Amino acid sequence: MKAVILVGGLGTRLIPLTINTPKAMMPVLNTPFLEYVIRRLNRHNVKEIVLAISHLAQPIKGYFGDGSRLGVNLSYTIEETALGTAGAVKNAEKYLDEAFLVLNGDIFTDLDLTAMMDSHRQRQSLATIALTPVADPTSYGLIETDAQGRITCFLEKPGWEQVTTNMINAGTYILEPEVLSSIPPQTNFSFEHDVFPPLLERGEPIYAFPSSCYWMDIGTPEKYRQLNLDLISGKSNQYHLDPTTGISIGEQSQYHPTAEITAPVVIGSHCSIGRNARLTGPLVIGTGSTIAEGATVEDSIIWHQVTIEAGAAVRRSFIANDCRLGAGSTVEGSVISDNVTVAKDYHMATDSRIQPGTSVG
């Protein structure tokens, strides 16, 4: 089975982290988010993958290339204007001559794709939609089914008085090629509003595939942080931190024997941790980063090539690529985009959102 991954979103709720970095390329434990998705497809023997991209396409193409490094064959489609979820798949129609998967490129899940494929074929379904339970379904699309698992109702972002189930659209579909005939070319069209409800009204066989496996939509900084924390904590089967130490240190990274590292902590390769530095998890430090003497970093996600100078402190924050935090500075509860410099001894206000290339203080 082939797959289309929708990675054209702007990531507006993740700004300023996504101004220069596509959401699909945001590092999760120092690996681009999209790499997890592609590797999972490969494990389920899905080798032919189309990436439907628009926003910041070059970083994605430059990193993944033809996909051979990950054991798959990647093709790319580019949206000149926003086409929506269904329009983006229609744009890849020339690659889709058999039943195929569609995955939202901002969802991390352990969903058993092989079992979902088997279910789709056994039921001779025109479309199969994965479902997952959530505590608050009012921000998602609810899906009701009958006793046989056939979908009977779609309800987008209901009020609590309308909630009859906690099972929502999990953002993974298996579709037969005929579904594409109902999507006009080069038109902004969505599966949720423009494709699935009309198919249901016509009585077409649309089935659900419910699963309670790990599932996370990384659309906000809070959920992005939670994903990193969940992986460190072993809640997904796609990452395993050493249970003995709770600490992972990458190749050619060095730390001074007086540095204090409290698990869980993931440190990338080619990092330097200085004398009396204090690292307290949950914490992720990206490749090529430097934590200087006496610096404190707690409960944060640090991207790549970040320098935190002597005596600086970072708590509950996101620091993107190529930033430098001056000696004695303090950053707490903030989101800092790439190429930002924080001046020596500057104390940043909590909840700051700093744009790329800024010098603060």
Q: pLDDT tens digits, residue range 315-351?
A: 999 999 999 999 999 999 999 999 999 999 999 999 9
Q: Which secondary structure element, helix H or strand E, spans residue 267, and what is its range?
A: strand 265-267
20 — pLDDT class (breaks 50, 70, 90): very high
What is the percent of the chain where pLDDT is above 70?
Answer: 100
pLDDT at 355 over 80: yes
Which residues make Cβ contacts (< 8 Å) with residue 349, sequence separation at least 6? 334
Q: Give the domain ranges of the chain.
A: 2-219, 247-360
What is the rounded average pLDDT of the residues 108-132?
A: 97
Which residues make Cβ contacts (< 8 Å) with residue 181, sequence separation at least 6? none
What is the percent of the chain where pLDDT is above 90?
Answer: 87
**What is the C-alpha to C-alpha distance for residues 309 and 312, in angstroms, rounded to an integer?**
6
pLDDT score for 236: 95
CATH of domain 2-219: 3.90.550.10
Tokens of 125: 């379904």
Asked if 110 contacts 235 with a C-beta cutoff of 8 angstroms, the reply is no
pTM: predicted TM-score of the whole model, two decimal places? 0.94
98 — pLDDT class (breaks 50, 70, 90): very high
pLDDT score for 334: 97
Q: Which secondary structure element, helix H or strand E, spans residue 78, and what is its range?
A: strand 73-78
DSSP 208-264: EEE--S-EEE--SHHHHHHHHHHHHTT-STT----TTT-EEE-TT-EE-TT-EEESS
Residue 157: CA atoms inside 13 Å, Cβ hemisphere, count? Answer: 3
Residues 204-254: tens digit of each pLDDT: 999 999 999 999 999 999 999 999 999 999 999 999 999 899 999 999 999
Tokens of 110: 């352990």
pLDDT at 141 over 80: no
CATH of domain 247-360: 2.160.10.10
Q: What is the mean pLDDT of the chain?
A: 95
What is the rounded average pLDDT of the residues 303-312?
A: 98
187 — pLDDT class (breaks 50, 70, 90): very high
Top-confidence residue, 134 or 346: 346
- Which sign does the torsion angle of CA 16, 19, 23, 26 carry? negative
327 class by beta-carbon count within 10 Å (0-12 exposed, 13-18 middle, 19+ buried): middle
